[in-house]
């Protein structure tokens, strides 16, 4: 029977090359793309990559249990809010589940030894193998010659000599292999997780510090708009028409209030969490601050949702900018104790 594998496919170059090296050995590969709520276009890269590879693609969204990975990672955070090892263990757990469902024999990843300081050291890879329940069953074709032999190699399913021995951050070997294989379109390295970005990490830490009942949708909202917190409410103000559309797509029909300034260019503002007279006024004032209203006195802001509908007239003055600043997320220094 033809051997079968699950290949983690982000759409980045490393994952594509790793799967290709296994496919070229006659293995049937089912590509698994894990969709993270705070990652946008990267997931879209998986589809053309799977088509180029000639493999079936399965997309799987993370569940509510992923929130606990972010909140309390066993192996800690990197420089930002990135629990790389725990996140990797979580993803490999999803791959293991699909492997069992598909009757596959092993898992393939695009890991390169020592390419990333947190999740691709030898110790980190050992932890990931053990904690995922896949010890000996995770094949890393790009660095195979630098790593212990896996079960598929020991059993003769895979020829180790046809794999590579890459180690470190040098991308030249991958680029040369891509050219050799005729792969001309691929994403940038998939290591640019938003959680490693300083500004995004502050947003994420603030979200977790301000509330216990966090949803996957809350994480998705972090990608868009300006974020403020007041009186138990999370207020998100769009920065552009595209962000307005994104916020509306993520709006919870039964739990969010939407605010806009009528008849002028206005952000979409989403009020989530504690909807009170105070938080509604705070959201209205922020909406007015970032609208195109030229009024020096008062601005009408309309709101709807969560069983409410109406309008609020708020003052518009130079002091409103200072008000907005006071409601912004705390600084990284203030939140350092939460890491």
Q: Is residue 225 part of a domain?
A: yes
Give the count of domains, the chain: 2
Q: Is residue 168 part of a domain?
A: yes
Q: What mean pLDDT do residues 30-52 have?
A: 88
Confidence check: pLDDT of 164 > 90: yes
**Token digits of residue 337:** 């104790």
177 and 299 share a domain? no
For residue 116, the model assigns a pLDDT of: 83
For residue 319, the model assigns a pLDDT of: 53
Residues 206 and 329 sit within 8 Å (Cβ to Cβ): yes
For residue 294, the model assigns a pLDDT of: 79
252 and 118 share a domain? no
Helix/strand/coil for 184: coil
For residue 216, the model assigns a pLDDT of: 95
**DSSP track, 3-19:** -EEEEE--SBHHHHHHH
Q: Is residue 212 part of a domain?
A: yes
For residue 297, the model assigns a pLDDT of: 76
Confidence check: pLDDT of 338 > 90: no
Pick the range with the lowest mean pLDDT from 77-86, 222-231, 308-317: 308-317
Alpha-helical runs (H) found in 103-186: 122-131, 151-154, 172-181
58 and 152 share a domain? yes
233-237/269-273 β-pairing: antiparallel
129 and 237 share a domain? no
Give residue 105's pLDDT band: very low, low, confident or very high (50, 70, 90): very high
Q: Is residue 186 part of a domain?
A: no
For residue 328, the model assigns a pLDDT of: 62
- Give pLDDT tens digits for 234-285: 999 999 999 999 999 999 988 999 999 999 999 999 999 999 999 999 999 9
Full-model pTM: 0.88
237 and 326 share a domain? yes
More confident residue, 324 or 230: 230
What is the span of the domain harbouring residue 58?
4-181
130 and 38 share a domain? yes
86 and 218 share a domain? no
Q: Is residue 278 part of a domain?
A: yes
89 and 211 share a domain? no
Residues 137 and 128 sit within 8 Å (Cβ to Cβ): no
Q: Is residue 192 part of a domain?
A: no
Give residue 44's pLDDT band: very low, low, confident or very high (50, 70, 90): confident
162 and 221 share a domain? no
205 and 325 share a domain? yes
76 and 100 share a domain? yes
Determine the Cα–Cα distance for residues 226 and 235; give it in Å rounded to an integer: 8
124 and 54 share a domain? yes
E strand residue ranges, the chain = 4-8, 28-35, 56-61, 106-108, 138-139, 226-230, 233-237, 256-260, 269-273, 298-305, 308-315
Alpha-helical runs (H) found in 108-214: 122-131, 151-154, 172-181, 198-210
Where residue 30 sits, what CATH number does that domain have? 3.40.50.620
Sign of CA pseudo-dihedral 118, 121, 124, 130: positive
Q: Is residue 143 part of a domain?
A: yes
Q: 10 Å Cβ neighbour count for 337?
A: 8
Q: Is residue 153 part of a domain?
A: yes
For residue 121, the model assigns a pLDDT of: 92
């Amino acid at each position: 029977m033809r051997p079968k594998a699950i290949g983690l496919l982000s759409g980045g170059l490393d994952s594509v090359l790793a799967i290709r090296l296994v496919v070229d050995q006659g293995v049937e590969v089912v590509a698994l793309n894990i969709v993270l709520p705070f990652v946008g276009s990267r997931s879209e890269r998986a589809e053309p990559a799977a088509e180029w590879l000639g493999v079936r693609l399965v997309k799987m969204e993370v569940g509510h249990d992923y929130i606990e990975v972010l909140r309390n990672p066993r192996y800690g955070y990197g420089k930002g809010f990135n629990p790389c090892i725990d996140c990797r263990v979580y993803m490999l757990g999803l791959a293991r589940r699909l492997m069992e469902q598909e009757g596959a024999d092993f898992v393939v990843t695009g890991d390169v030894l020592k390419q990333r300081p947190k999740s691709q050291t030898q110790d980190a890879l050992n932890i990931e193998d053990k904690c995922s329940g896949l010890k000996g069953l995770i094949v890393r074709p790009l660095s195979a010659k630098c790593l212990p032999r896996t079960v598929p190699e020991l059993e003769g399913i895979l020829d180790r000599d046809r794999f590579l021995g890459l180690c470190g951050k040098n991308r030249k070997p991958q680029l040369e292999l891509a050219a050799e294989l005729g792969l001309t379109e691929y994403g940038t390295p998939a290591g640019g997780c938003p959680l490693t970005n300083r500004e995004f990490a502050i947003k994420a830490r603030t979200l977790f510090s301000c509330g216990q009942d966090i949803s996957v949708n809350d994480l998705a909202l972090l990608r868009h708009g300006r974020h403020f917190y007041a009186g138990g409410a999370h207020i998100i103000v769009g920065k552009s028409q595209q962000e307005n559309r994104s916020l509306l797509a993520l709006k919870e029909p039964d739990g969010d209030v939407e605010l806009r300034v009528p008849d002028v260019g206005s952000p979409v503002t989403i009020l989530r969490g504690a909807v009170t007279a105070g938080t509604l006024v705070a959201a209205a004032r922020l909406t007015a601050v970032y609208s195109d209203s030229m009024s020096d006195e008062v601005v009408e802001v309309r709101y709807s949702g969560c069983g409410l509908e109406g309008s609020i007239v708020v003052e518009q003055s130079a002091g409103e900018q200072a008000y907005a600043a006071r409601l912004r997320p705390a600084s990284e220094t203030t939140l350092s104790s939460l890491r």
